């Protein structure tokens, strides 16, 4: 490779990797969003350590 081609090809490779990463992250976010919609309210968004569950356990 020559010095003239190196920066542009590197930038093209990086841009392609960023696009792939963005697509993968969007797909993961969609999958998590769909999984959250399919579950009931308490099990979808709250963990056992969350403040909301601690309050509900204390009062109920």
CA distances from 56 to 43, 46, 49 (A): 13, 11, 12
The CA radius of gyration of the chain, in Å to the nearest whole number, is 22
Note the maximum CA span of the chain. Answer: 70
pLDDT of res. 38: 77
Q: Considering the domain boundaries, does residue 57 fall inside one?
A: no
State the total domains in the chain.
Answer: 1
Q: Considering the domain boundaries, does residue 55 fall inside one?
A: no
Q: Considering the domain boundaries, does residue 50 fall inside one?
A: no
Per-residue pLDDT tens, the chain, 60 aa: give them.
Answer: 455 556 689 999 999 999 999 999 999 999 998 888 776 554 545 555 555 555 555 554
pLDDT of res. 26: 97
Q: Considering the domain boundaries, does residue 7 fall inside one?
A: yes
pLDDT of res. 44: 46
Q: Considering the domain boundaries, does residue 23 fall inside one?
A: yes
pLDDT of res. 56: 56
- Domain span at residue 31 reads 1-40
pLDDT of res. 23: 98
């Amino acid at each position: 490779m020559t010095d003239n081609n190196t920066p542009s090809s590197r930038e093209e490779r990086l841009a392609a990797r960023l696009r792939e990463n963005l697509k993968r992250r969007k797909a993961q976010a969609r999958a998590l969003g769909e999984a959250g919609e399919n579950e009931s309210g308490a099990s979808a968004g709250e963990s056992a350590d969350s403040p909301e569950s601690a309050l509900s356990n204390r009062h109920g």
